[in-house]
């Protein structure tokens, strides 16, 4: 697939529909693949974290999760067709899984959140098969137990909600052993679905002002938001 390289990381020029088609093909072929959900903060972290940068560069699919990436592509004289938000992708894949009979495993978030998220996804998408849920952690001492749990459950899709870069590094390190066709790091998506966090309204997302909404609700995110909306554009323009 065509991609746009932004700060050394390839971002694939895909729509939501194309992403879902890619997922269906990956499940059909049964070859373990990894989806990452880069946004401006990811790319800034990758500039100082060589291991994370290597994971993003090696990912099978990097969806453009961040309006800032669309701007950056235009600045660089290229184009990304649309934002594909990881939080939206979770629900879209769940709907697809319910229709296709895929098995889905939810890993990560605080205790009880994955279970509540699974229940809400099943209520929204009747017929969805949840292969398993587990809070777990990316700590080395938990690896063997989690790998055994997931391989026994035999999911077609694995959602990992450890937050970046931990979730993406964990998937990259374990995906060959897990044998899951599609593994994707989903950050705070479980918290959004379970109602622990509130996403910005649609109008704010369309205007690219989701960061402002989150700053108002979660001022402790100020440093991360400055990275995404100030430092990232400056880094792109310097390149």
Please give the average per-residue pLDDT across 78-95, as a whole number: 96
Residues 79, 162 within the same domain: yes
| pLDDT over 60 at 85, yes or no | yes
Please give the average per-residue pLDDT across 84-95, as a whole number: 96
Residues 185, 110 within the same domain: yes
Helix (H, G, I), strand (E, B) or coil at 180: coil
Residues 181, 208 within the same domain: no
Domain containing 155 — which CATH number?
3.40.50.2300
Residues 107, 127 within the same domain: yes
Residues 130, 48 within the same domain: yes
Instruction: Report the length, in residues, of the chain.
Output: 239
Which of 80-89, 135-144, 149-158, 216-225 has the least mean pLDDT? 216-225
The answer to whether 188 touches 197, Cβ cutoff 8 Å, is yes
Residues 33, 116 within the same domain: yes
pLDDT digits (tens, 9 = 90+) for 127-144: 999 999 999 899 999 999
Domain boundary at 178, 194, 210, which? Answer: 194
Q: H-helix or E-strand containing 13?
A: none
pLDDT given for residue 1 in this prediction: 85
pLDDT given for residue 165 in this prediction: 97
Residues 123, 45 within the same domain: yes
The answer to whether 11 touches 5, Cβ cutoff 8 Å, is yes
pLDDT given for residue 218 in this prediction: 64
Q: Give the count of domains, the chain.
A: 2
pLDDT given for residue 195 in this prediction: 86
Please give the average per-residue pLDDT across 64-70, as a whole number: 94
180: domain range? 3-194
| pLDDT over 60 at 215, yes or no | no
pLDDT given for residue 229 in this prediction: 75
Averaged pLDDT score across all residues of the chain:
92
The answer to whether 19 touches 63, Cβ cutoff 8 Å, is yes
Please give the average per-residue pLDDT across 235-239, as a whole number: 90
Strands 3-6 and 9-12: antiparallel
Residues 178, 210 within the same domain: no
Q: H-helix or E-strand containing 185?
A: strand 182-185
Residues 114, 63 within the same domain: yes
pLDDT digits (tens, 9 = 90+) for 165-207: 999 999 999 999 999 999 999 999 999 999 876 666 666 566 5
Residues 180, 100 within the same domain: yes
SS3 for 101-160 is CCEEEEEECCCCHHHHHHHHHHHHCCCCEEEEEECCCCCHHHHHHHHHHHHHHCCCEEEE
Largest CA distance in the chain: 50
Distance between start and end Cα atoms, the chain: 24
Q: How many CB atoms lie within 10 A of CB 214?
A: 19
Residue 81, Cα to own-chain centre: how many angstroms?
18
pLDDT digits (tens, 9 = 90+) for 4-49: 999 999 999 999 999 999 999 999 999 999 999 999 999 999 999 9
User: What's this model's pTM, rounded to 2 decimal places?
Assistant: 0.92
- Angstrom CA distances, 48 to 20, 162, 179, stand at 31, 20, 30
DSSP states of 20-39 as a string? HHHHHHHHHHT--EEEE---
Residues 15, 89 within the same domain: yes
**pLDDT bucket at 213, cuts 50 / 70 / 90:** low
Q: How many CB atoms lie within 10 A of CB 215?
A: 17
Residues 164, 109 within the same domain: yes
pLDDT digits (tens, 9 = 90+) for 110-130: 999 999 999 999 999 999 999
The answer to whether 196 touches 189, Cβ cutoff 8 Å, is no
């Amino acid at each position: 697939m065509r991609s746009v390289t932004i700060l050394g990381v390839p971002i694939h020029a895909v729509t939501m529909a194309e992403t879902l088609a890619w997922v269906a093909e990956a499940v059909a072929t049964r070859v373990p693949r990894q989806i990452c959900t880069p946004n401006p903060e990811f790319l800034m972290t990758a500039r100082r974290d060589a291991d994370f940068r290597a994971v993003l560069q090696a990912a099978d699919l990097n969806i453009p999760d961040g309006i800032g990436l669309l701007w950056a592509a235009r600045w660089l004289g290229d184009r990304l067709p649309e934002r594909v938000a990881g939080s939206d992708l979770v629900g879209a894949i769940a709907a697809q899984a319910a229709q296709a009979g895929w098995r889905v495993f939810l890993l990560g978030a605080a205790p009880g959140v994955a279970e509540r998220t699974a229940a809400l996804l099943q209520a929204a998408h009747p017929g969805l098969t949840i292969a398993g849920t587990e809070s777990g952690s990316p700590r080395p001492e938990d690896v063997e137990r989690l790998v055994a749990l997931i391989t026994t459950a035999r999911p077609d899709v694995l959602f990992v909600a450890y937050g970046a870069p931990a979730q993406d590094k964990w998937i990259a390190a374990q995906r060959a052993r897990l044998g899951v066709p599609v593994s994707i790091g989903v950050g705070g998506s479980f918290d959004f679905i379970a109602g622990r966090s509130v996403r910005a309204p649609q109008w704010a997302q369309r205007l690219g002002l989701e960061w402002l909404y989150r700053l108002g609700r979660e001022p402790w995110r100020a440093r991360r938001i400055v990275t995404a909306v100030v430092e990232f554009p400056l880094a792109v323009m310097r390149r």
